[in-house]
Structure 1
Amino acid sequence: MDDDALYASRLELVDFLIEALHDVPDEAFVERLLSGEFRTPEGEVNEPLDHGFAELRAFVAENEGRDPGAVHDDVEREYTRVFVGPRPPVVAHETYYRDDTDFMGEGLADVEASYGAAGWSPPEDYPEENDFVAVELAFLRHLIDRQRAGAEEAVGFERVFLEEHALRWVEPFTTELREQTDSRLYVAVAGIYEGLLAFEDELVAQLG
């Protein structure tokens, strides 16, 4: 895979996860999934990514022929039940899963400091605090974009962010998501998120 294709694949995975996690996915997202527009590789990448891709293909297969609007309604209900509540079983925030800081405590400032060090500000339209999973994914996307543009320092920023933040809570978060969701889509999301971070960690170690 050449560099352009690799960057495109990395960004496509991050964009998929942002759309699936930042809020209730819209109907257009569901339609793209059902149409096969989001392509999954057939070869092996790493175990969680491979499992996530398999679950995503299974989700598409089990909804084949259904009205996309009805599938979207199912996804909306599941996202709301799992992440919104009134008592959500999954709280997709770094500081919720970290043992070394209080939920929404000083650890939140540490996350924001990582963003500021790289000269990045979170999007204002995200409905959650800045340690929310989709905000961290948006930061990761920013760093990959900068790497594609030739900013070598973005590799270092990504390596530090993965080590000090994203990788510190991905396993308990994805484990809980798999346990709590009734949807193959969010089982897929758990695997793809975990596998993407593992892939990025290995990649930036090589680049660094």
Structure 2
Amino acid sequence: MLTNDRIETVEHPNLSHETQLRGLAKIRPLLEARIFAYDILRRSFLEEPSHEFLKLLSKDNLIGSFPFSEEEGEIQEGIRQVHSDLMQYESVGETIYNRLHWDYTRLFIGPYELQAPAWESAYLNKERLLFQEETLKVRLAYLKYAFLPKHFQHEADDHLGLELDFMYKLSVMVLEKYEKNEHELLDILENQKRFLQEHLLRWVPEFQQNVCQHSDTEFYRGMSRILHGFLRLDLEALAELLDIEGIGLKTN
């Protein structure tokens, strides 16, 4: 899987959350797939893509194995778009690399008017200001798990990349609790569901529309579609996980 410190590839087949939720014995593949998905998404939006990241995505069409793609047309379309730019990267690497960096800067950083702000408060705050009440609510969710974002106090907590990083960290915790048969995983799953409902899914739909309208690259148009499609399906997956009898209970 992808990590902050190093990148390591693991095969993740296309997973249907419906088929993966048939009994406790089949939960692990879904939990691993959620980690895989959030890891790709957080790295896609937290900062400009590195050569290392682009090479990983293009290697063996790794992006094509993104979870839930077989059952969600929006994810399928996003994969197709991302793949088209990755194919160019394999032939004209530096050119597409520079295009992606400029597109990321123009969309999410500046110096001109941002076409697709990557902060929750820019969509939920009437004045579209940063470091407002929305940011503080996100920070409280982070503090419950002692999650301290990179560049704390210099980058607003409600940046998309940080919110996705938080979901990634919690997904890793869920798998660890599941492997140890610890019932605390129920609280983590419930908090992930709540974070999707109260935060990410309240503003990502508009963010995705902005990216698709203003991006100059298929990569970011596609990634925004993958993001939107996956978050909607992950909410369904979390609801089904929480409904499984016996999950999080000691079995030995």
Normalising by the residue count of structure 2, what TM-score does the alignment of the two structures yield? 0.74
The count of corresponding residues between Structure 1 and Structure 2 is 207
CA offset at residue 179 of structure 1?
0.4
Which residue identity is paired with 1:111? V
Candidates 95, 120, 123, aligned match of 2:150: 123
The partner residue of 1:155 within 180, 185, 189 is: 189
Residue 34 of structure 1: how far off its partner (Å): 2.8
Q: Does 1:179 align with 2:206?
A: no
Residue number in structure 2 paired with 1:40: 64
For 1:70 and 1:102, locate their aligned partners in 2 and report how far apart those are by CA, in whole Å.
Answer: 34
Q: 1:67-100, CA deviations, whole angstroms, 9 ceiling, x for partnerless residues? A: 3233212211211122122122111000101156
Q: What runs of 5+ residues in structure 2 fail to find an aligned partner? A: 1-19, 21-25, 178-184, 243-252
Which residue pairs with 1:132 in the alignment?
Answer: 159
Q: Is the 8 A contact 2:82 2:218 kept in 1?
A: yes
- Note closer, same or farther for the CA distance 1:82–1:100 as it changes in structure 2 (3 Å cut): closer
Which one has the largest radius of gyration? 2
* In structure 2, distance between residues paired with 1:118 and 1:160: 14
Counterpart-to-counterpart distance in 1, 2:227 and 2:61: 19
| 1:22 and 2:49 correspond | no
Task: Determine if contact 1:44/1:50 at 8 Å carries over to the other structure.
Answer: yes
Contact 1:31/1:68 (<8 A) preserved: no
In 2: Cα distance, 1:82 partner to 1:72 partner = 15
Query: Structure 1 residue 15: deviation in Å?
Result: 1.5
Q: Given the superposition, is the C-alpha separation of residues 36 and 27 from structure 1 closer, same or farther in structure 2, using an over 3 Å criterion?
A: same
CA contact (8 A) 2:89 2:97 kept: no
Q: In the alignment, what sits opposite 2:84?
A: 58
TM-score normalised to structure 1 length: 0.89
Q: Secondary structure at the match of 2:95?
A: helix
2:234 counterpart (195, 200, 207)? 200
CA 113–65 in structure 1, closer or farther in 2 if over 3 Å, else same: closer
**Which residue of 2 is the match for residue 190 of structure 1?**
224
| Change in CA separation of 1:182 and 1:127 when aligned onto 2, cut-off 3 Å | farther
| 1:193 partner SS | helix
The offset of 1:127, in angstroms, is: 6.2
Amino acid across the alignment from 1:77? W
* Structure-2 residue corresponding to 1:144: 171
Flag the 1:167–1:109 CA change in 2: closer, same or farther, 3 A: same
SS of the residue aligned with 1:30? helix
Cα pair distance change 1:101/1:153, threshold 3 Å: farther
RMSD: 2.2
Task: Judge which range, 26-35 or 187-196, deviates more.
Answer: 26-35
Task: Specify every segment of 5 or more residues in structure 1 that has no aligned partner in the other structure, as ranges.
Answer: none
- For 1:116, the aligned partner's letter is L
Which is bigger in relative contact order (C-alpha 8 A, separation at least 6)? 1
Percent identical residues: 22
